[in-house]
Structure 1
């Protein structure tokens, strides 16, 4: 009983969810909405907050003044810093991550890097390979940023292969895909707690 009380007393894992697409009806944003619903409904101790990256200016170090950033950048960096884990929804553009997502990665990596030592997971909704190539590039970037990605389960979704996975608003309607998304979230939750225990020990 003592162990269960200790486990139950743990603070929730706070996840910031970022979407590489800026379209409101993006299926990748639909994945984030579904992930948020799943966390609230069936995963105790996991809180997901979607953070919009569209207000960020294009990276320009002229905008840095005496180690400070514009209000939009400062607010974004604070959200990343305060999060324990990151959920990326990364569509594939031209074999890679999108420009808005790369811009967000770069802004939060400026000194001091606020990505470091956070758990992370990637989901993708795209055509053909389901965004696989964007995920592999994102993992490469994450090495330099000291992000710790879960390795499995992987989540690549071909959004255009029948039967329909999303409705006209970009909301996820496929129950099997929803279960796969839940498996990713459970793995991210478990890995986040593992990193938390490691940091306490160290």
Structure 2
């Protein structure tokens, strides 16, 4: 049985290097793991408790909650916007944190990776994403990290999946997350 890892990308831009990194993860998943790229974060309205009521939850938010609930683990791909987490990713985390006490994240191993233009590869945003996801109920795996700096230069002519160093590191991230998802009680 394959471990299903759901990938959420914090950039909506078609040419996003984080999206390309997630696409590479789909292709590089080792045997026994399957990485599914979630589509639809742009359709989810900003979290508002007034619209998060039984029988009236927006379909896009329900689709996200169901996708995470059915996954064995979650892998977030976060760029860095003004030194922090992008709104689209934070909004997804907010929807997933509810209803209170029944987060779709509960007990799910989660890792955060990404790339950014700056010299640190988006580590501030990735740290913020880990913090928010942990508060939302995810079992954040702090030691699984990949921050790729200077994305605009590094991936100007090379897709992340074709960069041997990045492909190897990304494969290791997926392998580690797969191991955490299959460990007893997702240790």
Whether TM-score is above 0.5 comes out as yes
What secondary structure sits across from 2:142 in the alignment? Answer: coil
Pick from 41, 51, 64 the counterpart of residue 38 of structure 2.
Answer: 51
> Structure 1 residue 141: deviation in Å?
1.3
RMSD, matched Cα = 1.8
- Which of 144, 166, 185 does residue 135 from structure 2 map onto? 144
Q: CA–CA distance in 2 between the matches of 1:121 and 1:105?
A: 13
Cα displacement (A) at 1:159: 3.4
Alignment of 1:39-78 (within 5 A): 39=29, 43-52=30-39, 53-66=41-54, 68-78=56-66
Q: CA deviation at 1:68?
A: 4.3
CA contact (8 A) 1:36 1:48 kept: yes
Work out which of the residue numbers 79, 86, 90 in structure 1 matches 2:74: 86
Match of 2:83 among 91, 95, 111: 95
The answer (yes or no) to whether the contact 2:121–2:151 under 8 Å persists in 1 is: no
Is the Cα contact below 8 Å between 1:92 and 1:131 reproduced in 2? yes
User: Is residue 124 from structure 1 mapped to residue 111 from structure 2 by the alignment?
Assistant: no
Pairwise CA distance, 1:67:
5.7
Matched residue of 2:133: which SS? helix
From 162, 170, 182, the counterpart of 1:181? 170
Q: In the superposition, relative to structure 1, how do residues 85 and 153 fare at CA in structure 2: closer, same or farther (>3 Å)? A: closer
Q: How many angstroms does 1:110 deviate by?
A: 1.2
Gaps (5+ residues) in structure 2? none
Instruction: Report the count of equivalent residues.
Output: 182
Report the Cα distance in structure 1 between the residues aligned to 2:136 and 2:83, rounded to whole angstroms.
21
Q: Displacement, 1:175?
A: 0.8
TM-score, normalised by the number of residues in structure 1: 0.83
Q: Which residue does the alignment assign to 1:4? A: none
- Judged with a 3 Å threshold, the aligned counterparts in structure 2 of structure 1 residues 64 and 145 are, in CA distance, closer, same or farther, namely closer
TM-score (norm 2): 0.89
**CA deviation map 1:137-181 (0-9, x unaligned):** 11211221221222334211013475x33547x654311111111
**Cα distance in structure 1, aligned partners of 2:65 and 2:71:** 10
Name the SS for the 2:50 alignment partner: helix
Runs of 4 or more, structure 1, over 6 Å off, are none
Q: Residues 150 and 187 of structure 1 are in contact (CA less than 8 Å); yes or no, is this contact kept in structure 2?
A: no
